């Protein structure tokens, strides 16, 4: 099978949009309270060691995805067991993102529509892209990021008359404890979710560039999320921000420049879907490759549609309603994600280093 390759720039765009994903429409790190903006500065910075672990794993085996790497490093039996765990993570994350966008569009305009209607629309489009592989995803990510970088600043500028700096005060009123909790929450969602990119075998033309691509992708995504979240806090105030399921939409709905520029919600909402589209496509592609690896099937493309249907059905039953979804995200997700985003990747990298040292020692002994 032909190896799929993307440029460094496309790789950065892919990781950036994956990080933004559904995080751009929902409230994040509410544990930090009014100091959420500090948590949003710390989270991408403290995520750098984590993404360096991901980059180290991919750099050790640039021609393989995480599922293949696990079998090489951990053996067939234990490797497949770990792969099953990662598949559970991808399925739950992918289904959650589909449901989040379904609830988003239901909440903002079509409350009587079943969530599955929006899910069918989103997963259907993502399936066509996922079947084409990483190269097409990389090119789309490059285009979509340009669109986002044009729309987001315009939306922020139109909100300037509504922004009040006092809504961020008092600073550190409750100390650093809540800030650290909010930072940890933001690391697990969305920055740690970048481990999913390992599962799609994002081959780079310059094989030594994985560290650069991962770090720049996370930092650029973090910068966009920081700018949007701070704008929402300045426009709404923390009390309103924390009570809205989708604060981004609430903030944009306040745009009113001279009674001429207003009602930009539809444009911004549709634009935010671009990042979610990339994130769902990556999850779908990762799940397809994981299932193919599990059953030793040589080609992943014919599995995309069946996996898409599984994700769609899971997105419908995974939560009872939007309240349940938000409670899961705020109280459970961070702890559920720790093994997949932190513990297992570090363990895999350590095993790679041990294996490489043994190889080196063996070669020295033969000489």
Give the pLDDT of residue 47: 96
* Rounded CA separation 83/69 (Å): 10
Instruction: Give the number of other CB atoms < 10 A from CB of residue 4.
Output: 16
* Whether residue 263 has pLDDT greater than 80: no
* Whether residue 247 has pLDDT greater than 80: yes
* Rounded CA separation 61/353 (Å): 12
Residues contacting 320, CB < 8 A, separation 6+: none
DSSP assignment, residue 345?
H
pLDDT tens-digit profile of 321-343?
888 888 888 889 999 999 999 99
**What integer best gives the mean pLDDT of the chain?**
89
Look up the CATH number of domain 5-366: 1.20.1740.10
Q: Please, are residues 194 and 18 in contact by the beta-carbon 8 Å criterion?
A: yes
* Whether residue 275 has pLDDT greater than 80: yes
Q: So where are the chain's domains?
A: 5-366
pLDDT tens-digit profile of 168-220?
888 888 899 999 999 999 999 999 999 999 999 877 877 678 999 999 999 99
Give the pLDDT of residue 218: 96
Give the pLDDT of residue 297: 84
pTM of the model: 0.94
Start-end of H helices in the chain: 8-20, 36-46, 48-60, 66-74, 76-108, 115-132, 134-158, 177-188, 210-236, 238-243, 247-252, 265-294, 304-317, 322-331, 333-338, 344-366
């Amino acid at each position: 099978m032909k190896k799929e390759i993307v440029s460094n720039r496309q790789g950065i765009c892919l990781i950036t949009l994956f990080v933004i994903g559904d995080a751009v429409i929902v409230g994040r790190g509410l544990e930090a309270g009014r100091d959420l903006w500090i948590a949003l500065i710390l989270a991408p910075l403290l995520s750098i060691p984590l993404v360096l672990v991901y980059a180290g794993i991919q750099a050790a085996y640039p021609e393989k995805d995480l599922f293949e790497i696990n079998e090489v490093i951990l053996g067939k039996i234990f490797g497949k067991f770990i792969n099953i765990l990662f598949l559970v993570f991808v399925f739950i994350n992918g289904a959650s993102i589909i449901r989040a966008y379904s609830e988003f569009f239901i909440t903002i305009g079509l409350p009587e529509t079943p969530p599955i209607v929006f899910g069918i629309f989103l997963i259907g489009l993502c399936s066509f892209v996922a079947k084409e592989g990483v190269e097409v995803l990389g090119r789309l990510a490059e285009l979509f990021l340009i669109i986002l970088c044009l729309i987001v600043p315009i939306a922020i500028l139109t909100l300037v008359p509504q922004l009040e700096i006092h809504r961020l005060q008092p600073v550190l009123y409750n100390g650093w404890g809540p800030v650290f909790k909010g930072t940890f929450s933001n690391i697990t969602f969305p920055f740690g979710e970048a481990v999913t990119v390992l599962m799609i075998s994002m081959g780079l033309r310059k094989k030594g560039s994985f560290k650069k691509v991962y770090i720049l992708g996370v930092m650029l995504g973090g910068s966009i999320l920081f700018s949007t979240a701070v704008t929402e806090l300045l426009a709404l105030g923390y009390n309103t921000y924390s009570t809205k399921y989708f604060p981004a939409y609430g903030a944009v709905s306040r745009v009113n420049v001279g009674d001429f520029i207003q009602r930009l919600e539809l444009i911004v909402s549709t634009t935010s879907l671009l990042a979610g589209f990339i994130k769902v496509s990556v999850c779908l592609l990762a799940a397809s490759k994981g299932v193919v690896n599990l059953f030793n099937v040589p080609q992943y493309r014919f599995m995309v549609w069946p996996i898409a249907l599984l994700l769609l059905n899971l997105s419908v039953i995974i939560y009872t309603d939007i309240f349940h979804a938000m409670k899961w995200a705020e109280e459970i997700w961070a702890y559920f994600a720790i093994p997949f985003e932190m513990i297992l990747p570090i363990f895999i990298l350590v095993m790679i280093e041990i294996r490489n040292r043994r190889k080196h020692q063996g070669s020295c002994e033969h000489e």
